[in-house]
Structure 1
Amino acid sequence: MKKHFKYIVLSVLVIGASSCKKYLDVNTNPNSLTAATPNLVLPQAIVGAATIASNTNINFADFSGARANAGGFGGFGVTVTYDFGNLAYQGVWLDSYDNANDFQYVIDNTSADATLIFSTSIGRIMKSLTFERLVNQFNDVPYSEALKGAGNFTPKYDKGEDVYKGCIADLDKAIKDIQTGISAATTIAITKAGDPLFGGDMNRWLKFANTVRLRMLIKMAGVPALQAYTTTAFAATVNSIGFLVDDALVNPGYEKVNKPSPIYNSIGFGTDGSNTTTSRIPTRWIYSFYSGSKLTDPGRGEVIYRGFPSSIINQLGDESAGVAPASADGSAWITGDKNGTYLGVVKGPTQGTVLILAAESNFLQAEAYARGYLTGVASTAFNEGIKQSFKYLYKTVDNTVDPTKDVDADVATYLSDNSGSYLVNFALAATPDQKIEAIITQKYIALNMINNDEAFSEFRRTTYPKIVNGSSDPIQTFASKQSASTHIDKLPTRVLYPAQEFSLNKANVPTGINKFGSLIFWDLN
């Protein structure tokens, strides 16, 4: 939303700059600011958050090992060397702060009215989700002094862990306030039209907030200096709320011609029916989790990949003459033609946009139980995570499981086909490390081309799925063949602050950041 409450540190030089197309933007004239009410801002901000999530997923597909360069093209440059500069990935920064300002606007204009407590709480939850993403990629970011409009043009940078703590405090308040609002007869309900994520169902918002909170706490808990904080925070978890049991999908009413789903428009087909992804194909690494090289998974493989089990694949950075070009019929991640709807990652132009999968929710719970952070049965949550992954990929564009697919039967086949692997059969995981490896590996598989940024963050945090550092074997590592990284795994460790920050907030932006050595606070590797 291009409004005067944009992240002010970017100043008037970049007001209006955003790669995120917001389909519910209330400003129809970009040259004339108009008044906006929170009930108009909130739904478009949620849609904006979904678009940013989709864009970030695609932006990090090369880092995460999900995607490689196709043949027939040259000059991939920093895509395959990782030697990017301060202009790369700045869209994540610009769009996220733009989006956070929208949520702050909602908070500022509703928090004084107890009847609008649901709107305020949703603003807090979504703002926390936005800052979680920023920290996961940039570490220290402006937070406590940001989003204040003309009150502060040069906000200080807060430590990543302090931003996380602030977000968790907001999530705790949102959870408490929603519970209060549900009990109060005077609370103004959120309409279905005003909530493109959960249709005004505040119980689902509670589960969503609890899941985001769990995800942040798990990342923090591995840091020794933060364990006293996380122990207290885990103990304060409101277990009666529960966590996400279905996929958190944003859908404002996407349509093929005027406002297609972002993921469809990115790796499916354009509104004119053109193939939008002609220079990218899956990596040999990621394909090995489906093809039998590592694990056997034809159920999910055939709905994700065009031509499975003979899809066109490559190793990132291999630009030799023998690399095959991408399919001319459509991207590798769409299994039909431009006139149909499909299963898998790309389902059709009207599909919802994923914020958090139910599969991820279950794998988060499995890790919390396995590490003793919360009380529960890790194997049960683990198995449900696998099932939920199959279930999402087997859904059609209308978010119902295709009647020709049997989720339970195919999950059983998956377990049987990989009967000797503890990465699939949790009971075979004999040590605590093997249990965590199994959980993170299955989460990584479930997030493939859906939330690649989170898949990469979890690899950075845990080093799972396992790779062989320094190997050139495309099945043993997903590091680029042309990597310039000096890190032991030959991968980037983070992205860089955008160039604008060094011009507009020079006194505060951290210096000496190295994309191959500077770590996010939760990365101890």
Structure 2
Amino acid sequence: MFDMKKIPMARTVSVALLAVFAGGCENFLDVNTDPNAPVNARVDVRLPAVVTGMVHTVYYGDPGQWTVEWMQQTSYNRDSRGYDELQLYEVQDNSANGAWSYHYATMLNELKLMMEEVDPDADAAYYGLAKFLSAWVWLHTTDLWGPVPFTEALDPAVPTPAYDDQLPTIYGQALAMMDEAVASMRQTSRRTPGANDLLFNGDMSRWAKLARTVQARHQLRLAYAPGENAQERAQAAISALGEGLTSTADDVVFEYPGGAGARNPLWRYVDRNLLFTASGLTVEMLMERNDPRLPIMVEPAVKDMEGGQVVYRGHYNADEPAADSTISEVGHFFTAEDAPLNVASYADAKFTEAEARLILSGPGAADAPYREGIRAIMEKWGVDAADIDAYVDARPMLASLPNPLEEIIREKWIANYLTIEPWNDWRRTGFPSIEPVPNAFLPAIPVRIRTPESELASNSENVTASGVDPGLQGMLFSGPSVWWGGSPPAGLTGGN
């Protein structure tokens, strides 16, 4: 059915670096930290650390896995304080503190130091990498919290930084930073990364492709935001994709060797002690279309296998716990301690293109990239060619569907399995349709992460001025200054 050997691999992560970043986020609690305080390390030492941190803790850290649960891609099959409350939409203060401090005091501060330690012209490669990663972390930060400290953040002379709006301030400046970063990556540089570049071994052309693909994703994220022009943002996404990933050979993955301190972070959420299982929604969506990705994404229930049967049985979110042997695990293809993590994929880029072309020209123009996205992710995961053809051929033309956007996002939801991207797409489109779990702490699925207690203690006046409820109810914030405050037109078909 599939072959794991078909997956492209990136460079191996340093066990020591993983150990540093696994424990680093609890050491800082304030947004503004003296930039001279961290150990003075050379930029070529900082680079592998920040790349590791970006993948391991920012993109796939706690907030990412909370949202996977809220999107019902996984389900919590235990009855205990903590994780059980998480699937009922409660985020504990200490968890929010850790995520906030890691973004600011660790990642953004380290990247600021990197840019200060190099000559922007002579060391253009390092400067471009630091600027791109900084822009990406800023976008990720505002995507999680909405209004956040930005213009005054990271300045030790301003201990209580003001909050900036997401639109137009943070997004506008971060997207411009990405343009500047790509320009730097393309300059001649006296020093370029080598083995310390854990993704591309110093290939700056691949970094530029990654930057443009990430930029396209965030341009499209603004398409339905209040006050934004959907067609202009869609065209900006298409333009960026023209310099982005061009095939599955360009896919960006991060390899983990496994073992203590060097495990895939999904292992501790999903595979260890079976805290999270395959969800009922995931199994249901795959089975209703006879999707050949089912045995890759979901493990058969152990009890049925012992009886000689292959049965996929998901656990519906917030249902009563069931015996582990009766519930399917999340596919080990993704959760093994040495499984690689997806950083960016050609499949995701094609779904971004499909939606952008839907906006610009209608479903006819979106159909080809939509189908190419399905093929790309199936090929990446090792699905047999005949099964790929059968599945793609069975999909109706987008123009024949009442809501082609829903279909594009449905397939994208599968392609970005176990990442934060399905939550990002759901917040702006409402697809796929997901019912809130019953008896939750909130009446609806959260659209932001709660404000950390540490920020309330040290910067309360500016938190209040931001207009966001810092408590649990603030996780439902959908104000006009955030991209998830809008929504696509009902039954979007694109074009004029």
TM-score, normalised on structure 2?
A: 0.80
TM superposition shift of 1:121? 0.8
* Alpha carbons 2:234, 2:356 under 8 Å: kept: no
The within-5 A match list for 1:351-390 is 351-372=339-360, 377-390=365-378
Q: 3-state SS of the aligned residue for 1:222? A: coil
Distance 1:430 1:236 in 2: 24
Matched residue, 2:281? 285
The within-5 A match list for 1:423-462 is 424-425=395-396, 427-430=397-400, 434-449=403-418, 451=419, 453-462=420-429
Residue type at the aligned position of 1:296: N
Distance 1:59 1:236 in 2: 30
- In the alignment, which of 381, 389, 402 is matched to residue 412 of structure 1? 389
* Alpha carbons 1:45, 1:103 under 8 Å: kept: yes
* Alpha carbons 2:364, 2:398 under 8 Å: kept: no
Matched residue, 2:448? 494
TM superposition shift of 1:38? 0.8
- In the alignment, which of 150, 169, 172 is matched to residue 176 of structure 2? 169
**Count of aligned positions:** 441
Distance 1:259 1:388 in 2: 28
* Alpha carbons 1:250, 1:353 under 8 Å: kept: yes
Matched residue, 2:257? 254
Distance 2:417 2:330 in 1: 11
- In the alignment, which of 350, 358, 380 is matched to residue 338 of structure 2? 350
The within-5 A match list for 1:82-101 is 82-84=89-91, 86-97=93-104, 98-101=106-109
The within-5 A match list for 1:240-251 is 240-243=242-245, 245=247, 246-251=250-255
Matched residue, 1:485? 442
TM superposition shift of 1:265? 4.1
Q: Deviations over 1:375-400 (max 9, x none)?
A: 99422221121122213333xxxxxx
Q: In 2 relative to 1, CA 203–49 (structure 1 residues): closer, same or farther, beyond 3 Å?
A: same
Percentage of matched positions with identical amino acids = 20
Distance 2:462 2:406 in 1: 38
Residue type at the aligned position of 1:505: N
Which stretches in structure 2 are left out of the alignment for 5+ residues?
Answer: 1-20, 302-309, 488-496
Distance 2:426 2:363 in 1: 25
Q: In 2 relative to 1, CA 429–485 (structure 1 residues): closer, same or farther, beyond 3 Å?
A: farther
Q: Deviations over 1:337-368 (max 9, x none)?
A: xxxxxxx323x433333222222111111111
Q: In 2 relative to 1, CA 202–373 (structure 1 residues): closer, same or farther, beyond 3 Å?
A: farther
Q: Deviations over 1:35-67 (max 9, x none)?
A: 201111011110011111222432222111112
Q: In 2 relative to 1, CA 327–156 (structure 1 residues): closer, same or farther, beyond 3 Å?
A: farther
Matched residue, 2:53? 48
Judging by fraction of residues, say which structure has more helix: 2
Matched residue, 2:110? 102
Q: Deviations over 1:442-500 (max 9, x none)?
A: 11111122x1x220121111011134xxxxxxxxx3x21222433xxx32222211000
Residue type at the aligned position of 1:103: L
Which stretches in structure 1 are left out of the alignment for 5+ residues?
Answer: 16-31, 269-275, 336-343, 395-404, 468-476
Distance 2:269 2:84 in 1: 21
Residue type at the aligned position of 2:448: R
Distance 1:158 1:145 in 2: 9
Distance 1:100 1:199 in 2: 23
Distance 1:83 1:58 in 2: 13
* Alpha carbons 1:198, 1:205 under 8 Å: kept: yes
Distance 2:265 2:116 in 1: 29
Q: In 2 relative to 1, CA 75–242 (structure 1 residues): closer, same or farther, beyond 3 Å?
A: closer
Residue type at the aligned position of 2:297: I
Q: Report the RMSD for the aligned CA atoms in angstroms.
A: 3.2
TM-score, normalised on structure 1?
A: 0.76
Q: In 2 relative to 1, CA 91–296 (structure 1 residues): closer, same or farther, beyond 3 Å?
A: farther
Distance 2:399 2:364 in 1: 17
Matched residue, 2:311? 310
